[in-house]
């Protein structure tokens, strides 16, 4: 899953929302040195990614991509699912999307001193250009894919070439997302409760 979905799934506090994306910026074997809620959500982030990668609806969604570009399907779907989450926001949350995003941006400012360098490097751009709000529009999806393609060491063009597939398969991908996301929410809640139960520092 991409930034907005991870933040959404950790929306109970600003620290948790930041932890929700830190999994992309902290090495797997890194010793966590963050507030407890952030440490917890780094663990949850990785469980979410693993669950997503093996979920039948996501595997079916990947099948819409041509075989020669399917290796990039996961990246494209992560970004597109933020677009679909934005479109269906009211189905999943009583809190307005803009309010949640604003709270997250405020959390960046509050915890800036402890952000890892890679996240710190992009945080000002993320807020100034409202990356999270941008996922509500196709242009924001396109920009996010292009931004990601620039970070790839090679074959960024192949990632960008998947954008038309997303548009052409929108209805089908939308159906798969609506099957998948409620199950991801449930899995996340159960996993968080289990970790808290077995971890005296994860309150």
The pLDDT value given to residue 202: 53
Question: Exposed, middle or buried: residue 180 (CB in 10 Å: 0-12, 13-18, 19+)?
Answer: buried
Question: What are the pLDDT digits (tens) for 129-141?
Answer: 999 999 999 999 9
Name the residue range of residue 100's domain: 3-197
pLDDT of 69 above 90: no
The pLDDT value given to residue 153: 61
In a domain? residue 202: no
In a domain? residue 31: yes
pLDDT band at 30 (very low <50, low <70, confident <90, very high): low
Q: How many domains does the chain divide into?
A: 1
Look at the block and give the residue holding tokens 């999307």.
Answer: 97
Q: What percent of the chain has pLDDT over 90?
A: 74
In a domain? residue 111: yes
pLDDT of 52 above 80: yes
In a domain? residue 118: yes
The pair of three-digit structure tokens given for residue 130, joined into one six-digit string: 């409202």
What's this model's pTM, rounded to 2 decimal places? 0.92
In a domain? residue 93: yes
Radius of gyration of the chain (CA): 16
The pLDDT value given to residue 200: 58
- What are the start-end ranges of the H helices in 111-162? 117-128, 131-134, 138-151, 156-160
C-alpha distances (whole Å) from 77 to each of 14, 28, 62, 169 are 26, 23, 8, 11
In a domain? residue 17: yes
In a domain? residue 182: yes
pLDDT band at 156 (very low <50, low <70, confident <90, very high): confident
Question: What are the pLDDT digits (tens) for 165-202?
Answer: 999 999 999 999 999 999 999 999 999 999 988 875 55
In a domain? residue 19: yes
């Amino acid at each position: 899953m991409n930034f907005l979905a991870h933040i959404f799934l950790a929306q109970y506090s600003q620290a948790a929302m930041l932890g929700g994306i830190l999994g992309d910026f902290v090495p797997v074997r890194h010793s966590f040195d963050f507030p407890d809620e952030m440490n917890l959500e780094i663990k949850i982030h990785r469980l979410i990614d693993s669950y997503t990668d093996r979920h039948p609806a996501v595997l079916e969604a990947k099948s819409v991509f041509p075989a020669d570009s399917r290796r990039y399907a996961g990246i494209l779907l992560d970004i597109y699912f933020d677009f679909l989450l934005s479109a269906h926001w009211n189905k999943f949350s009583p809190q307005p999307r803009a309010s949640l995003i604003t709270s997250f941006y405020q959390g960046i400012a509050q915890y800036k001193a402890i952000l890892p360098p890679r996240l710190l490097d992009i945080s000002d751009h993320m807020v100034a250009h409202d990356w999270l709000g941008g996922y509500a529009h196709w242009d924001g999806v396109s920009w996010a894919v292009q931004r990601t393609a620039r970070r790839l060491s090679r074959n960024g063009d192949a990632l960008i070439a998947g954008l038309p597939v997303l548009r052409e398969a929108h209805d089908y991908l939308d159906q798969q997302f609506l099957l998948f996301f409620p199950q991801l929410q449930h899995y996340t809640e159960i996993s968080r409760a289990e970790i808290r139960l077995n971890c005296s520092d994860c309150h």
